[in-house]
Structure 1
Amino acid sequence: MGFMKASLILFVSLCLISCAPAKTSYFGETSFVGVTISGEEISFATLAKEHIALNVYSPDCVPCWKEIPALNLLHSEIQKKFPEKVIYMVVDPYQIVPDVTDELPFGQVYQLAKERMNVEIKNRNIQVPIVFMKKPFRVKEGGLVTGTPETLLFETKPLRLYYNFLGSISELTTKEAIEKDPKFNFFRYQFGMESI
């Protein structure tokens, strides 16, 4: 009797494991596409990376400015030590360009947003690659991203959001201080850059 019960439990367990649902996209992230400053289109679902971080930025967001040193530090470390990962600073061009409507074509809004972000790059020493997101990505009330700063962490194959980091990663300014910041280290842990 004990053998049959154990066999049945093993059989049911194996069925449940093999019948578990596959990882899926929940927020339409597989359709996220953007354009770099140089004009290259990026489809995040097809990037040959294991993990992708999208830091949502706005030139009108003071905490966004304050976290740039931490983002630059992360970007540098990722480039040197984690080739399977990537971080981008993304903007919703319809959100950062004053007085544009949704009816204006992406190409026109992209040009205006690019001009604005070129000033940001120069004035704020942004070293993280910038991507101008196409619809359906939007920073808006009721959407996936409702404000800035916010950093979305994705795993790939398929592209799937697994963590949404609200607020600044760190607003400290020196490398030494940033590296000791618990929020910064929590981000690194969530992004698979270290274990706690």
Structure 2
Amino acid sequence: MGFMKTALSLLISLCLITCAPAKSSYFGETSFVGVTADGEEITFANLAKDQIAMNVYSPDCVPCWKEIPALNLLYAEIQNKFPTKAIYMVVDPYQIVPDVTDELPFGQVYQLAKERMKVEIKNRNIQIPIIFMKKPFRVKEGGLVTGTPETLLFETKPLRLYYNFLGSISELTTKETIEKDPKFNFFRYQFGMESI
């Protein structure tokens, strides 16, 4: 009888291990593609990084402007200390260009969005790389991202969303105050930049 219980326990354990669901994407993340201001196409699922942060920005969003110093600080730290991570500012060109419709081809909307973001980069001192997202990524009601600012945190292999940081990461302005901001440090913890 003891042998049967042991064999049954082993069989159940083996089944649970081999039948456990694999990590997978739930929001179509694996199809996320964007274009840099230089015209380079980026497929996020193919990036050789362990974690990716996508900060969703809009030029019409005041909290988005206010978090730029914190994003620039994070970008510099990630570049210098965390080579397996990446952070990008992403925009939905169909959302940031006034009076365009979904029927307009991406190339035309991209050019208009690029011009608008060129002004933003200059006026707001944006240092973080900007990516213009292609469909199916959209900022819209009922979608994954419904407003800005919002920062999506992804694991890779496969690319999948593991945390959605709503609102600004920090709206403080100096390095000293930003580094003490609990929201900023919570982001760093969630993105594996520090432990609690």
TM-score class normalised by the smaller sequence: over 0.9
Structure 1 partner of 2:9:
9
Q: Which moved more, 1:11-20 or 1:83-92?
A: 11-20
Task: State the distance in 2 between where 1:191 and 1:11 align.
Answer: 37
Give the drift of 1:10: 3.6
Within-5 A mapping of 1:51-90: 51-90=51-90
Task: State the distance in 1 between where 2:6 and 2:184 align.
Answer: 47
Structure 1 partner of 2:156:
156
Q: Percent identity?
A: 88
Q: Secondary structure at the match of 1:131?
A: strand
Aligned residues: 196
Give the drift of 1:2: 4.7
Query: 2:37 is matched by which residue type in structure 1?
Result: I
Structure 1 partner of 2:112:
112
Give the drift of 1:17: 1.6
Give the drift of 1:153: 0.5
Q: Deviations over 1:59-84 (max 9, x none)?
A: 00000000000000000000000000
Task: State the distance in 2 between where 1:71 and 1:127 align.
Answer: 8
Give the drift of 1:173: 0.6
C-alpha root-mean-square deviation of aligned residues, in Å?
Answer: 1.0
1:91 has 2:91 as partner: yes
1:139 has 2:135 as partner: no
Q: Deviations over 1:102-123 (max 9, x none)?
A: 1111111000000000000000
Give runs of ≥4 in structure 1 deviating > 4 Å. 1-4
Task: State the distance in 2 between where 1:175 and 1:152 align.
Answer: 23
Task: State the distance in 2 between where 1:14 and 1:189 align.
Answer: 34
Task: State the distance in 2 between where 1:168 and 1:3 align.
Answer: 59
Mind listing any 5+ residue stretches in structure 2 that lack a counterpart?
A: none
Task: State the distance in 2 between where 1:88 and 1:17 align.
Answer: 36
Task: State the distance in 2 between where 1:94 and 1:138 align.
Answer: 8
Structure 2 partner of 1:187:
187
**TM-score normalised by structure 2 residue count:** 0.97
Compared CA separation, residues 101 and 14, structure 1 to 2 (3 A): same
Mind listing any 5+ residue stretches in structure 1 that lack a counterpart?
A: none
Give the drift of 1:5: 2.8
Give the drift of 1:18: 1.9
